[in-house]
């Protein structure tokens, strides 16, 4: 049986991001959510790698239920 991701919070993390490469936590176990800290080890989860080419605001999914992966799609409102 597959593990389910852990819902960390039922709202996004809205952050001003600088250009760079980020590893979004998909398992909900990271203590640095919304970013990966390696706690997915021994689960089937892998971080989602997101490349940002220019500075912008991003709403990172905190509930881990978004159909857009790392980006909030409003699914947290139905939890």
Q: CB under 8 Å to 64, separation ≥6 — which residues?
A: 5, 6, 7, 8, 26, 27, 28
Distance (Å) of CA 5 to CA 19, 24, 66: 27, 13, 11
Binding-site string for ligand FES from residue 6 to residue 25, where x marks contact by CB under 6 A and - marks none:
-----xx-------------
State in angstroms the smallest separation of the CB of 3 from ligand FES.
Answer: 18
Per rule CB under 6 A, is residue 61 in the interface with ligand FES?
Answer: yes
Interface contacts to ligand FES, rule CB under 6 A: 11-12, 61-63, 65-66, 72-76
């Amino acid at each position: 049986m597959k593990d389910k991701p852990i819902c960390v919070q039922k709202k996004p993390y809205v952050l001003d991001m600088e250009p760079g490469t980020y590893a979004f936590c998909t398992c909900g176990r990271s203590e640095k959510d919304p970013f990966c800290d390696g706690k997915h080890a021994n689960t089937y989860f892998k971080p989602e790698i997101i490349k940002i080419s220019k500075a912008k605001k991003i709403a990172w999914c905190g509930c881990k239920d978004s159909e857009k992966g790392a980006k909030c799609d409003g699914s947290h409102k139905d939890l």
